[in-house]
C-alpha cells in the first residue's frame, strides 16, 4: 500500500497519482472531520427539537463550532484518542455550549455514522462513473454491431461473432454492477446513535431517528457499540466485483492488442513513448494499470470480510483497516472507471485485421457447420464428428486446407453436395441473430 502526505498530515489514501479530485476531497481528513461535525450538530438539533437542550445553544454551536486539523493532531498526541481530541478542539472554540456536543453519545455513534455518509457519497460518485461507462460501451457496441471477428475459447479460434457483441456483453455486466452497488449503497446509508453497547442508555431513541433523517440516513434497527461490519464488507466486496469487471475488459483489450492479433488497441497520443529502449513500442499501459489496481481492491475485500469479526460488542481492530481500505477501494475504482471509460471511448478498432484473423485457420472455424449439416442428412452424430475431426486434424498437423479436405472426403461427399459444403463456409450465418440480441438491450 502506498500513501501520500497531504498538507496537514499523512492520510490513509491512495497515492495522488491515482486520486481524482472529487473523490480525493471526499476522503480528505478535512472532510472527514467536517462530516463528523455535521453529525454532532445534527444530533444537537434533534435534542433541541425535543427540548433537551436550548435552541440558542444550538445556534451558537452552528456558528462557532470550528476545528483545526493541526490542533486536533496536537491534542491527540496527549489523549491518544482522535474523537476526544476533536471534541477538545471544538470546546476551545465553542465555549460553554460545547457541553451539549456529544451528549449521551459514544465515539462510534458519530464516527460510524460519518463513515456511512462518506461511503454513501463515494458509492454515488462511482455509480455516476458506471453509468457513463455503460453508455460509452453501448454506443461503441452499436457502432461495431455487425463487425465480424473470431470468438476465442481457451485462447483458440472457435466461431465467428461480432466485436459489437463483445462490447455489449461488457455493458450488460456493468448493468449488474450498477444494481449491486445501488444495493450496497443502500446497505451503508445508515446511522447509529445508541450509545456504548447499543442500548440507548443515555440518549432518547428519537434522537437517532431525527438525526438520521437530517443526514439522509436510515437508523439501524439494532447495533452494538458499532454498526455491524457486514455492511462495509458488502460495499467493498461489491467494489471488488466491479474491479473484476474492469480487469476483465482491460485484459481482453490487452490480448487484442498483442502484435500477433492486433484487432484493437489503446489510443496512442502524439508524443507518447512506449519504451526507453525500443522506439517502436505501443504498449497497453493503461489497461495494464487497471489490471494491477484491481488486485488491490480484491485484497481489500479480504480485509473487509475479516473486519466483520470483532470481540463481544466491539473492539478497535477494524478501525485501522477501514482507514485504509474504504478510501483506497473507492478512490481506486473511481480512477479505474474514468481511465477505462476513456480507453474504450478512444479505442482503435481494426476490422480488416479481424477478418484476416478469421481466415488464419484455413476454415476450421466452420467445423460445426459441417458436423450439423451431416447430422441433418441423417448421419449419426458421433460418426459425423469423426469424419469432420479427421479433416480438421490434417489442417492442424499438415497445414492442409480444411475446406479442400472436406470436399475430398469420400464419406462426407456421399452426404453433402459441393454447393452444400460451400454454404457451410459463410461467416454471415453465425451472425444472423445479432440484431435480435441487441434488441434485448433496447439497441
**Which residues participate in catalysis according to the annotation?**
154, 275
Q: What is the DSSP string of 313-358?
A: T--SHHHHHHHHHHHHHHHHHHHHHHHHHHHHHT-EE-HHHHHHHH
Among residues 198, 12, 9, 220, the alpha carbon closest in space to that of 116 is found at: 220
Among residues 11, 54, 55, the alpha carbon closest in space to that of 33 is found at: 11
Residue 411 DSSP one-character state: H
Contact yes or no for 127/142 (Cβ under 8 A): no
Between the two ends of the chain, the Cα-to-Cα distance in Å is 42
Answer positive or negative: Cα dihedral of 399, 402, 408, 411: positive
Angstrom CA distances, 347 to 92, 152, 269, stand at 56, 20, 12
Residue 221 DSSP one-character state: S
User: Nearest 5°: CA angle at 417, between 414 and 418?
Assistant: 125
Instruction: Give the per-residue SS3 of 16-80.
Output: HHHCCHHHHHHCCHHHHHHHHHHHHHHHHHHHHHCCCCCHHHHHHHHHHCCCCHHHHHHHHHHHC
What is the rounded CA–CA span in Å between residue 20 and residue 293?
15
What's the grid cell of residue 10?
Answer: 499523512
What's the grid cell of residue 186?
Answer: 443502500
> DSSP 3-state assignment of 306?
helix
For 411-434, b/e burial (b = at least 16 CB within 10 A) is: bbeebbeeeebeebeebeebbeeb
Contact yes or no for 178/77 (Cβ under 8 A): no
What is the rounded CA–CA span in Å between residue 87 and residue 75?
10
Among residues 95, 316, 105, the alpha carbon closest in space to that of 202 is found at: 105
What is the rounded CA–CA span in Å between residue 418 and residue 407?
7
Amino acid at each position: 500500500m502506498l500513501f501520500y502526505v497531504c498538507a496537514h498530515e499523512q492520510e490513509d489514501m491512495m497515492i495522488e497519482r491515482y486520486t481524482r479530485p472529487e473523490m480525493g476531497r471526499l476522503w480528505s481528513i478535512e472532510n472527514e472531520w467536517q462530516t463528523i461535525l455535521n453529525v454532532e450538530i445534527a444530533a444537537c438539533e434533534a435534542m433541541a427539537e425535543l427540548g433537551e437542550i436550548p435552541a440558542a445553544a444550538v445556534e451558537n454551536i452552528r456558528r462557532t463550532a470550528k476545528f483545526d486539523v493541526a490542533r486536533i493532531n496536537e491534542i491527540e498526541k496527549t489523549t491518544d484518542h482522535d474523537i476526544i481530541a476533536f471534541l477538545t478542539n471544538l470546546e476551545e472554540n465553542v465555549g460553554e455550549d460545547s457541553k451539549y456536543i456529544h451528549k449521551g453519545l459514544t465515539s462510534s455513534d458519530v464516527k460510524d455514522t460519518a463513515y456511512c455518509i462518506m461511503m454513501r457519497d463515494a458509492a454515488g460518485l462511482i455509480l455516476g462513473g458506471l453509468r457513463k461507462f455503460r453508455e460509452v460501451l453501448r454506443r461503441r457496441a452499436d457502432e461495431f454491431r455487425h463487425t465480424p471477428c473470431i470468438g476465442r475459447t481457451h485462447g483458440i479460434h472457435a466461431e465467428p461473432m461480432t466485436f459489437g457483441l463483445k462490447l455489449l456483453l461488457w455493458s450488460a455486466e456493468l448493468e449488474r454492477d450498477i444494481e449491486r452497488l445501488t444495493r450496497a449503497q443502500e446497505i451503508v446509508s445508515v446511522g447509529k446513535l445508541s450509545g456504548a453497547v447499543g442500548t440507548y442508555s443515555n440518549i432518547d431513541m428519537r434522537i437517532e431517528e431525527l438525526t438520521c433523517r437530517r443526514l439522509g440516513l436510515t437508523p439501524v434497527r439494532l447495533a452494538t457499540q458499532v454498526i455491524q461490519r457486514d455492511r462495509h464488507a458488502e460495499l467493498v466486496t461489491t467494489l471488488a466485483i466491479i474491479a473484476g469487471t474492469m480487469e476483465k475488459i482491460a485484459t481482453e483489450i490487452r490480448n487484442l492488442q498483442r502484435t500477433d492479433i492486433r484487432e484493437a488497441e489503446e489510443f496512442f497520443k502524439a508524443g507518447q513513448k512506449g519504451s526507453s529502449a525500443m522506439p517502436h513500442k505501443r504498449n497497453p499501459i493503461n489497461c495494464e494499470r487497471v489490471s494491477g489496481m484491481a488486485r488491490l481492491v480484491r485484497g481489500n475485500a479480504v480485509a473487509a470480510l475479516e473486519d466483520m469479526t470483532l470481540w463481544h460488542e466491539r473492539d478497535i481492530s477494524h478501525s485501522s483497516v477501514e482507514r485504509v481500505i474504504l478510501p483506497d477501494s473507492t478512490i481506486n475504482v473511481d480512477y479505474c472507471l474514468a481511465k477505462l471509460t476513456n480507453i474504450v471511448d478512444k479505442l482503435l478498432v481494426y476490422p480488416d485485421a479481424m477478418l484476416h484473423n478469421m481466415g488464419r485457420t484455413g476454415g476450421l472455424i466452420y467445423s460445426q457447420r459441417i458436423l450439423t449439416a451431416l447430422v441433418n442428412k441423417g448421419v449419426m452424430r458421433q460418426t459425423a464428428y469423426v469424419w469432420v475431426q479427421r479433416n480438421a486434424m490434417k489442417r492442424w498437423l499438415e497445414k492442409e486446407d480444411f475446406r479442400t479436405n472436406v470436399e475430398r472426403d469420400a464419406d462426407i461427399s456421399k452426404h453433402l453436395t459441393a454447393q452444400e459444403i460451400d454454404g457451410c463456409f459463410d461467416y454471415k450465418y453465425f451472425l444472423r441473430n445479432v440484431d435480435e440480441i441487441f434488441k434485448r438491450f433496447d439497441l
